[in-house]
Structure 1
Amino acid sequence: MKANHTLRGLIAAPFTPFDAQGEVNCPSIDKYAEFLISQGISGVFICGTTGESASLTTDERKRIAERWVAAAAGRLKVIVHVGGNCIPQSRELAAHAQRIGAYATAAMSPFFFKPASARELVDFFVPVAAAAPALPFFYYHMPSMTGVSIDVEEFLRLGGETIPNLAGVKYTHNNLMEMQALLNLEEGRFEVLHGFDEILLAGLALGAKAGVGSTYNYIAPVYLRIMECVEKGDLEEARRLQMISVEVVKIIIRHGGGVRGGKAIMNLLGIECGTCRRPLAPWGENELETLRKELENIDFFSLQK
């Protein structure tokens, strides 16, 4: 399957909502989807890193996928992350994603027993992608989390020969030289989804057409304006807007990173996401108010439409 390059704009990586008891709160997804649509989001990449996939059961991941597909109702392209350390589990999740009408599947590398080469990673993914043959399949490259730093260009070359539905890569890495090579590989055969929110401008300059990120959940208008500025050639304004993103990212890093801090931001915006599952720590008594004040100091709450 040759890449159709149909993904454009911003693809949010949603948080998995939990209720007060720590159970998956599927009803919250309905309001969540409407909020993202209102912000100009074109798709969602569910049950990935931001969605705490490694902390979810197989059944929970299926229920979350079903609810997102239903809530999106064709208005968002739903990419279901099916990756993990177990091929049978990933195959089950991939087949389920195709059955419920998802747009695509994606998978990160196994991160306990790790592949030592691009060939080993391709061989791991062949049966996973084959479980949903009608859907585009994306390799989710995030070495900072998986500890797997294989040659992605070699992976795409090899995968293109043995994975018929390999569409491309979600590239969550800051090696821009490699990213440029991927964008130009085999005359642009593969889609390269930019995965580092705080350097989206760099990815766009190299030719990326779509980005997947966690901060797109709550400041999508900033990134959409960056994309517009790049199209118009207004790099000065694009740089200014990118620095707004950087300031937001600095704050969430101080509050436990993109998943923990970002989930708290969604709660502040009225989208019930609850806390994270352990080992990520719950929020302290005064921490949310401290976060709110830090966000107010950079005029964060004026950044949504």
Structure 2
Amino acid sequence: MEIKNLIAATYAPLKEDGSLNLGIIKEYGFFLKSNKVAGAFVNGSTGDFASLTPDERKLIIDAWAADKPSNFALINHVGDISLKTAKDLASHCADKVDAIATLSPFYFKPRSLQQLVDYCTEVAMCAPNLPFYYYHIPVLTGAHYSMEDFLELAENQIPNLAGIKFTNNDVLGFKHSKNFNNNKYNILYGVDEMFLSSLPYEATGWVGSTYNHLAPLYYKIKYAFENGNISLAAQLMDKSVQFIELLDGRGGFNGAGKSFMKILGIDCGPSRFPHKTFSNEELVEIKGALKKLGIMSYTNRL
């Protein structure tokens, strides 16, 4: 199965007391699907996986698996600093999702690319019938390895290797990974503010936080590019960058983005430390600022 189009990196919905709000996930999935988002990347960085317990991560993916829309890809990120935990999370969802992914351990880090591939192999083998994606996000993991080299090692060691979630602004590295072995692997681009930069390199799938908020905008960027209107595509891409910079400047994008979901009709609740949770007054101010920038008309709708 090749995963294509926009995949939203989803938030972990919480109640005001900080416990999981699993009841909203069905509506969350419908909201994404109605905005032509093709799937969900669950329990990733946007989903604050590092601030969740393993049991909470299991409950979240169980809820998504039970209530996901039809024809909607479900990728579960199972990575952890503990290999044992990552393997347990992979085994748990082996019959529930469409694919799994893991990033590199990020406290005690692999000392070589071969160690990283070995880690991925053990996780992938806990769900051998599922496509496996390596989640490349070196700015957070410190695993600054060539993904072309990763694929060269991993293709002979991980039978269910499907591709990479490439969250790095190195578009040439993305290109080389995509072209590896005659485009054998599904390379999903993961830097939202560089969406337009991925299009000349024939990206077909993207995973990102802002697809929760701005899917119509990204489809307009793609349409403009494909029809040769590069100037319009660039102008629209500026809207994405302005959205990200504005929210990030209010105290960090993770907390702001999650809180902003309330404006769109999906209340994902508070954020866990260290991310900020925004008050209703702050959200009204953010909405007003986005309206002045002409961005609110491109947001997702219920």
Normalising by structure 2, what TM-score? 0.95
After superposition, give the CA deviation of every residue in 1:36-77 in whole Å (9 maximum; x if it has no partner): 011000011000000000011111111111111222143310
Runs of 4+ in 1 over 6 A off after TM superposition: none
Partners in 2 of 1:243 and 1:227 — Cα distance?
A: 13
Alignment of 1:129-168 (within 5 A): 129-168=124-163
Corresponding residue to 1:108 among 99, 103, 109: 103
Query: Which residue of 2 is the match for residue 122 of structure 1?
Result: 117
Query: Which residue of 1 is the match for residue 46 of structure 2?
Result: 50
After superposition, give the CA deviation of every residue in 1:248-298 in whole Å (9 maximum; x if it has no partner): 111111123331111111011121111111122333574333322222222
Query: Which residue of 1 is the match for residue 247 of structure 2?
Result: 252
Verify: 1:12 aligned to 2:8, yes or no.
yes
The aligned amino acid for 2:225 is: V
Query: Which residue of 1 is the match for residue 234 of structure 2?
Result: 239
Alignment of 1:58-97 (within 5 A): 58-97=54-93
Is the 8 Å Cα contact of residues 12 and 48 (structure 2) preserved in structure 1? yes
Verify: 1:211 aligned to 2:206, yes or no.
yes
Shift of 1:92: 1.3
Partners in 2 of 1:233 and 1:47 — Cα distance?
A: 37
Question: Mind listing any 5+ residue stretches in structure 1 that lack a counterpart?
Answer: none
Quote the RMSD (CA, aligned, Å).
1.4
Partners in 2 of 1:267 and 1:154 — Cα distance?
A: 42
Say which is worse superposed, 273-282 or 163-172, in terms of deviation: 273-282
Is the 8 Å Cα contact of residues 252 and 275 (structure 2) preserved in structure 1? no
Is the 8 Å Cα contact of residues 116 and 150 (structure 1) preserved in structure 2? no
Partners in 2 of 1:212 and 1:256 — Cα distance?
A: 23
Question: Mind listing any 5+ residue stretches in structure 2 that lack a counterpart?
Answer: none
The aligned amino acid for 2:47 is: G
Partners in 2 of 1:134 and 1:33 — Cα distance?
A: 24
Between Structure 1 and Structure 2, how many residues are aligned? 300
Partners in 2 of 1:273 and 1:285 — Cα distance?
A: 13
Is the 8 Å Cα contact of residues 94 and 132 (structure 1) preserved in structure 2? yes
Is the 8 Å Cα contact of residues 37 and 75 (structure 1) preserved in structure 2? no
Partners in 2 of 1:296 and 1:231 — Cα distance?
A: 27
